[in-house]
């Protein structure tokens, strides 16, 4: 009986070493700083098992190596690092395309900047090789 227990303990130890090696191959340590903007993985309103990345929030405190206190509007809440993802804002590209008039602008899709009334009257054109362009009528 003692020999069987010893064999089981050795087998468990070997299995643990193999599992750790397998996990460590793809695992990477994530680290956030105070003031970082993050997205939070939260359940959707319609289905509690369906999770989506929602609202950019700010990290206000680091609690240990894996937990972070996040500012949610007027409230603060603690989240594990697995529920957080660093948020990077997109930069809008507003420069004239080569070989076009000054009124032609290249815009980033889903630009955070509001579109002006003048730009809203233009026509969006997209070629296979070019970016999405907004061609404004000449006045």
Query: Mean pLDDT throughout 100-116?
Result: 48
How far is residue 100's CA from residue 127's CA, in Å, rounded to a whole number? 14
Residues 70, 37: Cα–Cα separation, whole Å: 9
Residue 72 covered by a domain: yes
Quote the CA–CA distance of 67 and 81 in Å, as a whole number. Answer: 6
Residue 79, in any domain of the structure: yes
Q: Establish if 11 belongs to a structural domain.
A: no
Which domain does 81 fall in, by range?
Answer: 37-86
pLDDT of residue 6: 92
Q: Does residue 25 fall inside a structural domain?
A: no
Q: How many domains does the chain have?
A: 2
Could you tell me if 135 and 101 lie in one domain? Answer: yes
Strand partners, 59: 70
pLDDT tens digits for range 5-45: 999 999 999 999 999 999 888 877 778 889 989 999 888 88
> What is the secondary structure of 78-109 as a DSSP string?
EEEGGGEEE--PPPP--BPPTTS-TTEEE--T
What's the mean pLDDT when you consider all of the chain?
77
In a domain, 137, yes or no: yes
**Has residue 7 been placed in a domain?**
no
One domain for residues 99 and 77: no
- Domain presence at residue 130: yes
- pLDDT band, very low/low/confident/very high, at 93 (cuts 50, 70, 90): low
81 and 104 both lie in a single domain: no
Confidence of residue 105 (pLDDT cuts 50, 70, 90): very low
User: CATH no. for residue 60?
Assistant: 2.30.30
In a domain, 95, yes or no: yes
């Amino acid at each position: 009986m003692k020999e069987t227990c010893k064999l089981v303990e050795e087998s468990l130890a070997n299995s643990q070493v193999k599992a750790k090696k397998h996990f460590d191959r793809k695992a990477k340590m994530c680290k956030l700083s105070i003031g970082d903007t993050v997205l939070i993985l939260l359940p959707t309103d319609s289905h509690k098992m369906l999770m989506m990345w929602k609202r950019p929030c700010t990290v206000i405190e680091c609690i240990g190596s894996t937990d972070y206190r996040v500012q949610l509007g007027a409230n603060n809440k603690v989240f594990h690092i697995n529920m957080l993802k660093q948020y990077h804002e997109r930069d809008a590209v507003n420069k004239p395309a080569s070989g076009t008039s000054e009124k032609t602008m290249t815009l980033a899709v889903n630009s955070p900047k509001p579109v002006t009334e003048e730009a809203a009257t233009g026509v969006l054109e997209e070629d296979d090789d070019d970016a999405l362009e907004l061609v404004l009528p000449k006045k």
